[in-house]
Amino acid sequence: MKVSGFTFVRNVVKYDYPVVESIRSVLPVVDEFIVNVGRCDDGTLELIRSIGDPKVRIVESVWDETLRKGGLIYAQQTNIALAHCIGDWAFYIQADEVVHEDDLPAIQEAMRRHIETPEVKGLLFRYLHFIADYWSTNSWFYHKAVRIIRNNGEVESCGDAVGFHLKATQQYLQSGPKEWIAPSNGRVFHYGWVKDPKTMLEKKREQVTVYHGGGHIPAVEAKQLAHDSFQFEDYAMLKEFSGSHPAVMTDRLRSSRRWAARRSRWLNLRFYREVLRRGFRG
């Protein structure tokens, strides 16, 4: 059984992505790791080269600016990296996602167990979404996503690269027959919202152009962009995290701080209003 890792990156230095930690977190369970580096001038290419692992293989690309709507450019760039993968399984990890070393044996076992089960097209991961700092998680974001796919040419990234679908029918894996998906028994630590507020605002502005191009910006996003720095408005309602982070994140954790003081969400009246509106999600 051979396993390829793959991702796409651009402007990861400018927007402070933990991409080195991301790639290193899965290197122990892959035979190669393909990094599609989009042309930029913030030192992203040099940062990826600095990883210095022989498993890492770099592909360079130029983004198609006509796809700046609905996040489609993200799926396109993901699929460029996927096209270079030669493994039986392809392990996708985005530049702000990290896998815990404690989960790697279970992930490997899941790949071995299902390698001879062709109806299994993807392995599902559980998500922890960190907001503002490393002690605060948002339980209302999506809880699961496919991050390992069978690399037989039938499956590709779709939409804004959060998930995968069948090329032939464009049916989303997670909405297809239940036998298409199996648990990986692994977690993804998503750190995309753990940034300095000014950096977070700049990243959000970039994302708005990717999703909306020059078109109408929804009122909620327009409000977020109107400030001098990003406002973590739901911070007071976030769930406290007391578990362990992946070891590759140690240096970032040492230099981090809490965004703000926070009482228990159970003492926050707004939390209960949001539960009524969105439901309780742990």
CA distance 145 to 235: 24
With a cut of 70, say whether residue 118 has pLDDT above it.
yes
Residue 215 has pLDDT above 60, yes or no: no
Beta-sheet strands, E only, within 63-176: 89-92, 97-99, 122-131, 136-137, 144-150, 155-158, 163-166
pLDDT tens string 57-84: 999 999 987 777 777 899 999 999 999 9
For 6-17, what is the mean pLDDT?
96
The alpha carbon of 104 is separated from its chain's Cα centroid by a whole number of angstroms, namely 17
CA–CA gap between residue 246 and residue 277 (Å, rounded): 33
Give the range of the structural domain holding residue 157, as residue numbers without chain letter. 1-282
Give the type of residue at 186.
Answer: G
> How many other CB atoms are there within 10 angstroms of residue 67's CB atom?
16
**pLDDT tens-place string over residues 167-199:** 999 999 999 999 999 999 999 999 999 998 888
How confident is residue 160, by pLDDT bands cut at 50, 70 and 90? confident
Band (pLDDT 50/70/90 cuts) for residue 221 is low
What sign results for the dihedral spanned by CA atoms 184, 247, 133, 135? positive
Q: Where are the alpha helices (DSSP H) in 67-163?
A: 72-82, 104-114
pTM for the full predicted model: 0.91
CATH code of the domain covering residue 64: 3.90.550
Question: In the predicted model, is pLDDT for residue 217 greater than 60?
Answer: no
Question: Stretch 156-166: mean pLDDT, rounded?
Answer: 94
What domain count does the chain have? 1
- Between 77-81, 91-95, 209-213, 249-253, the lowest mean confidence (pLDDT) is in 209-213
What is the C-alpha separation between 162 and 147, in angstroms, rounded?
Answer: 9
Q: What is the pLDDT of residue 241?
A: 95
Closest CA relative to residue 248, chosen from 19, 43, 30, 54: 19
pLDDT for the residue 6: 98
Token duo for residue 282? 């742990």
